[in-house]
Amino acid sequence: MIRRLLSNRYIRILLWGFITLVTLVVLLFVWTNWSGRRRWAATKAMIEREGEKLDFRKLLPETPPDAENLLAIEPLRGITEAVDHDEDKGEPGAKRKALAAMKLNTMAPASLGVEKGQATDMQTWATYLRESKFLDLPTESVAPGKEVLAALDAQFPVLKQLADLAPHRSQAIFTPGLRERELPEMLFSLPLRHYAGAQNLTRLLCLRARAALDARQGAQALRSLLAAEKIAHACEAEPLLIGLLVGLSMETAVNEVVWVGLREKVFTDTELQELQSMISAHDIAKVCLQAFRGELACAVTSMDYMKDVAAGKKQSGPRFIEVFGSEERSPSLRMLNAVPGGFFDHSMSVLAEVEWRHVISPLRQGGVTAAVKAAEEVRTEFKDNENFWLHPDYIMASMAVPSVTPVNASAALVQAREQQVLAAIALERFFLKHAKYPAALHELAPEFTPAVPQDPWDGREMHYRTTAAGRYTLWCVGMDGKDDGGQVNKNGVAMRSHMYLGDWTWQYEPVETGSKK
């Protein structure tokens, strides 16, 4: 038996079988690399014909001179740096540590005034801040707003410094700006050490504004809100999806405080006009488009780097190793070395084509609303290509694109809120002049607003009615596209979800939901 197995005939069969298999594998690699290069060249040419850039550096904002840059003040200058690649070392590390100490813990009172129609009073805030030992406040707060404002300024003087400078410094960029920083070859590993501190600053600036409103100091509140808004813009100016998300969360916090100020009628007409100017300067469609352009450039650049690492043309850096394994020769890295370069080219092509068709092009042509509606097309395309044995070029895109498309839904909600803020400001200005609210929104234009406020979701006039309590309700139809008369949360789903049923409503009375949740 053994002699038969070792006979020349069986050896020849095994040898030819092995040669055939190797030949097929080589041909597959050659074809994959050839077709991948052709496909990526065609996709790249299409993207460039449309006027888009795949060079991340060309998307980066200019860093303004220090005299014009709100975030170039001494307590914040240099917070994006790391000394000897050590996050805690040197002056930048000390500044980030100071910002980290400004973090409110998770037990802080919630701020959901717009959604719930009610806000946490300042006395509750003062009690929390005192009991958590975040601020040194008297046991019995007689004037909680004034006391919290004074305590914040004493413990964190950077807040007042930012608020006082905000009206006089036209721009805000974290320093060193991305243009001045050394960028990693795998852009998804770009350190973003400044965002946590920026979030802490914004929360406290909004708290400072809230305290100023309680103290009936509208101008002081306005300056704090302007500083918070400019920090949000600084995050959004960096063409990164995480920067957009951080900026949107900050915009939401600013809108919450504006809601309180309008509910309490603290602002003068001049201050309301300044608020109008501040909010209307924010172009959500523009910042979303910039973020997704940056996201695409990061993805393409990172996959190109992975292709070079797999081919042995470049060494894998420490951040790259963290993603693919704890050691330089981890199994996942060895598997990567076996992947043909054409696989990455095909993957880059699919990713770029999907993001162009379903994210960037809709944003360019129809704004945030169009991009949200295009998300269903993304889900359909991935469902049609979910068999990765037949469509391996969809593997990368299926991991990246579905996780970023919900960002546009969050942006759509913030956009609707900002349009409601602008309408509410115009309504309060009308009230200051006429001692009543208008019967219809068209009475606001052009004296109090350039045009009749519109619902960004359906492009029609925003829904509005006065209430028996002497105020008013504004609402947008939300993602289900149906007018529910201002009713919110009919099914207990988050407003930014595509499953949400109900309207996006702005009102000053406690909200009654359609859900028992």
Tokens of 27: 């041909």
Q: How many helices (H) and strands (E) does the chain have?
A: 19, 3
> Contact 195/236 with Cβ under 8 angstroms?
no
- Of the residues 258, 282, 306, the one at which a domain ends: 282
Same domain, 174 and 214: yes
Location of structure tokens 């007689």: 142
Pairing of strands 472-476, 463-466: antiparallel
Do 262 and 340 belong together in one domain?
A: no
Instruction: Single out the residue in 361, 388, 404 at which a domain terminates.
Output: 404
Output the DSSP codes for 236-262.
HHSS-HHHHHHHHHHHHHHHHHHHHHH
Q: What are phi and psi of 86, to 5 degrees?
A: -110, 120
Is 420 within a domain?
no
Question: Is residue 465 helix, strand or coil?
Answer: strand
The reported pLDDT for the residue numbered 401 is 83
Contacts of residue 332, Cβ cutoff 8 Å, sequence gap at least 6: 324, 325
Q: Which of 353, 385, 404 is the last residue of a domain?
A: 404
Q: For residue 307, what pLDDT is reported?
A: 85
The reply to whether 272 and 342 lie within a common domain is no
Residues 121 and 226 in one domain: yes
Question: 173 and 254: one domain?
Answer: yes
Are residues 264 and 182 part of one domain?
yes
- Count structural domains, the chain: 3
Q: Residue 4's pLDDT is what?
A: 55
The pLDDT assigned to 297 comes to: 94
Domain assignment present for residue 54? The answer is no
Q: Let me know whether 394 and 454 are in one domain.
A: no
Shared domain for 168 and 233, answered yes or no, is yes
- To 5 degrees, how large is the angle CA 357–CA 362–CA 363? 125
Residue 490's domain comprises 436-507
Pair type for strands 472-476 and 504-507: antiparallel
As beta bridge partners, residue 473 has 465, 507
Tokens in use for 357? 């068709």
Upper half-sphere CA count for residue 386 (Cβ side, 13 Å): 7
60 vs 174, 248, 255, 256, 297, CA distance in Å? Answer: 12, 19, 27, 30, 11
What is the model's pLDDT at position 184? 86
- The answer to whether residues 198 and 96 belong to one domain is yes
Residue 489 is predicted with a pLDDT of 79
Residue 503 and residue 442 in one domain? yes
What average pLDDT values come out for the chain (517 residues) when binned by 10 residues? Answer: 56 69 73 89 94 93 95 96 86 94 84 78 93 91 93 97 97 95 85 93 96 97 98 96 95 95 96 96 95 93 86 68 52 66 90 93 93 87 87 86 83 94 98 97 96 92 94 92 87 80 89 53
The answer as to whether 355 is a domain residue is yes
H-helix or E-strand spanning residue 505: strand 504-507
- Tokens 């014909």 map to which residue? 49
pLDDT of residue 516: 40
* Residue 291 placed within a domain: no
Are residues 364 and 468 both part of a single domain? no
292 within some domain = no
> Residue 370 domain-assigned?
yes
Asked, for residue 293, whether it belongs to a domain, the answer is no
In a shared domain, residues 29 and 89: no
The amino acid present at 322, given as its one-letter code, is E
Structure-block tokens of residue 222: 């306005």
Pick from 173, 164, 182, 202: nearest CA to 72: 173
How far apart, in whole angstroms, are the C-alpha atoms of residue 375 and residue 353?
A: 14
Residue 137 included in any domain: yes
